Amino acid sequence: MFCFQCQETAKNQGCTVVGACGKTEKTAALQDLLVYVCKGIAVCEEAARATGPVDREAGRFICKALFTTITNAAWDDGAIIARIKEGLEVRDSLRAKAGAALPRELPDCATWTPADDAAIPAKAGSPELRITAAADEDVRSLRELLVIGCKGIAAYAEHALVLGHEKDDIYGFLVEALASTTKDLAVDDMVALVLRAGETAVKTMALLDEANTTAYGHPEITDIPIGVRGNPGILISGHDLKDMEELLKQTEGTGVDVYTHGEMLPANCYPAFKKYGHLAGNYGGSWWRQNDEFETFNGPVLLTTNCLVPLKKTNTYLGRLLTTGVASYPGARHIADRQDGGAKDFSPLVELAKTCPPPAGLESGTITAGFAHNQVMALAGKVVAAVMSGAVKRFVVMAGCDGRHKSRAYFTEVAEALPKDAIILTAGCAKYRYNKLALGDIGGIPRVLDAGQCNDSYSLALIALKLKEAFGFKDINALPVSFDIAWYEQKAVAVLLALLSLGIKGIRLGPTLPAFLSPNVAKVLVEKFDIKPIGTVEEDIAAIMAGR
C-alpha cells in the first residue's frame, strides 16, 4: 500500500500499512486498480476520438469511478470490484471502436484482462499500479498532483451530471490528463497539464453552480436552526442535492423530519428546499465528528457521497446507516441509483425512521449561511462602501476542508483573533471551525460569510472577480483579499488548482503542504504562485492584514 492523497497521510509522507482514513491495504489497492482501469479507458478513448467525438459514456464512467476513489467515499470492496468490471467493459468497447487508430504499443492498463475474479485483487496488489512505479520523484509528484486534481474535477462533474448538466470538453480534459500519465512527457508539459486542470476545475464548478441554481434557485441568506424537534428524523450527509430533493419529497407528510449534516448544511438555503416545513435544520458539525453525532441522532442516516468514516467498535448505528451513489460501507444498506429518469427509493429510510426515537439535542440556536455569489453581489454596493469607508479592512478567504488534526485549531484561533474590521469568506466544511462563533458584524455585514459547499468556492472566486471590477482593479491580487485555505482531500486540490488558474497568488495552505508535492514541484508552485505553508496565528494575521 502507498497512499498520500489526503492531508492526514502518515508522517506527511504516505500511508503504507493502513490508511489514516481507516481504509485497508486491500481497499486501497482496489481503488488504485480502478484508477488504473480509468487510465486504460483514457488511452483507448484518446485514440477513438481521432475518428469521432467524445464518448460521453466513457467520460461519465471516468467521473463516477474517480469519485469512487476519493477519500472516505467507498469502503465496500465488492462495490469497487463491480465498478472495475464495468470499467473493463467500457475500455474494451472503446478499444474496439478505435481500431486501427490505436497506438502500436499499448500500455498494460489498456490491455490487461483478468482471467477470473481472483485475478482482480491479485492485479490490485501488483507494483505497476503504484504511483511509486515511476522512478523519478518529480514525475511521480506531477502525475499524482494531476490525477488528484482530476478526482476533484470528476466529483464536481458527477454532481452536475446528476442534474442533467455536462460538457464534452470536461470529459475530454480528463481523458487527456489520465492518458498523459502513461507517457514520458517533459516536465514543462506536465506542469502545463496541471495548470489546465485548474482551468477545467473552474469550468466544472461553474457548470455545477449553473446546475444547482437552475434546479433549486440561488441560495438565500438564511438563519438555519441547529436544535432538534420532537419528531423522528432522517439525517442526510454528503453533497448530493438531487438526493436531498427526492428525500424531502418522499418524507413530506410522513411525520418524519429531515436534518442536514456536514456539507449538506447549505441545502437549507436553497429556495426549492425551504418550502418544506419538515426540513428541520442542521444537526452536528464536521464529517469527522460523525461517530458521536450519528450515534446520538437515533434515526437513519443517509450518506450521499464522500465524508463517511469507519464506525468505531462502540458505535451501534450500522443498522440505520444507508449509503447511495458512490458511497458504500460493508454492512450498510445501499440505495440503488435512479433508473430512466425516475427517483431513488428512500422508503426504507422513512419506514426505519418511524420506528426510531427523535434525535437527541446537541445544541440550540441558529447559524447564518447562504452568502453565495448572487446574494453577495446584491450587497455589493454595501460591501464596497464599507471598504471605501475603512469599516472593512480585509477579506480573508478561509475555505476548504476540516479534519481531525489538532493543528486545525489554528483556523479557529485565526478567526477569533482577526481584527474586528476583517470579514471571513468561507465555503466547505472548514467553516465548522468558526461558523458558530459569536464574531459579530460590520455595519450589518456578518463577519463570516458562508458561500456553501466546497464546490461553492467558485462563488468566492466569482465574488473576488466581481469586486475587482467594482473597484476598477486590473489585478485580482490588488484586492484587500487574502487566502488562508485548509485542505484535506481531492476536491480541495481541485479548488486550489482553480484558484491558481485564476491568477491568485500568496495563498496560505495548511495544516501541512501536500505530501505528494516533491521539493522541486513545491518550489515551482512557490516561485510561480507564492504558495506558502501556514505559520503561527500571530505572524499570519499580521501578514494577512498587511496584504502579504
Q: Would the pLDDT of 408 be above 70?
A: yes
- DSSP assignment letter at 72: T
Q: Is residue 374 part of a domain?
A: no
In this prediction the pTM is 0.96
Same domain? 107 vs 125: yes
Split into its structural domains, the chain has a count of 3
Query: What is the residue type of 7?
Result: Q
Question: For residue 381, what pLDDT is reported?
Answer: 82
Q: Which residue has the higher pLDDT, 134 or 21?
A: 21
Provide the pairing of β-strand 279-282 with 394-397. Answer: unpaired
Q: How confident is the model at residue 471 (pLDDT cuts 50, 70, 90)?
A: confident
Q: How confident is the model at residue 49 (pLDDT cuts 50, 70, 90)?
A: confident
- Sole residue written with cell 453581489: 377
Of the candidates 486, 306, 484, which has an alpha carbon nearest to the alpha carbon of residue 402?
486
CA atoms in the 13 A half-sphere facing the CB of 482: 22
Name the domain boundary from 319, 354, 389. 354
Q: Would the pLDDT of 79 be above 90?
A: yes
Question: For residue 52, what pLDDT is reported?
Answer: 78
pLDDT mean across residues, the chain: 95
- The answer to whether 488 and 402 have CB atoms below 8 angstroms apart is yes
Domain CATH code at residue 161: 1.20.1270.20
Residue 269 belongs to domain spanning: 222-354
Mean pLDDT of 193-212: 96
Same domain? 408 vs 333: no
Same domain? 191 vs 156: yes
Name the domain boundary from 215, 245, 265. 215
For a pLDDT cut of 90, what percent of the chain falls above it? 86
Other CB atoms within a 10 A radius of the CB of residue 452 amount to 29
Q: Is residue 373 part of a domain?
A: no
Q: Is residue 311 part of a domain?
A: yes
CA distances from residue 520 to 138, 260, 484, 526 in whole angstroms, order as listed: 7, 42, 23, 10
Question: For residue 132, what pLDDT is reported?
Answer: 65
- The answer to whether 321 and 303 have CB atoms below 8 angstroms apart is yes
Identify which of 125-129, 363-367, 460-464 has the greatest average pLDDT.
363-367
Check whether the bond before 511 is cis (ω within 30° of 0).
yes
Same domain? 154 vs 293: no
Q: How confident is the model at residue 457 (pLDDT cuts 50, 70, 90)?
A: confident
Q: Write out the three cell numbers for 441.
A: 458584524
User: Among 156-160, 213-217, 457-461, 527-531, which is the least confidently predicted range?
Assistant: 457-461
Same domain? 80 vs 200: yes
For a pLDDT cut of 70, what percent of the chain falls above it? 100
d(CA 210, CA 71): 26
Q: Which residues contact 472 (CB under 8 A, 6 or more apart)?
A: none
Same domain? 406 vs 439: yes
Q: How confident is the model at residue 465 (pLDDT cuts 50, 70, 90)?
A: confident
Same domain? 207 vs 228: no
d(CA 502, CA 479): 14
DSSP 503-536: T----EEESS--TT--HHHHHHHHHHH--EE---
CA atoms in the 13 A half-sphere facing the CB of 401: 28
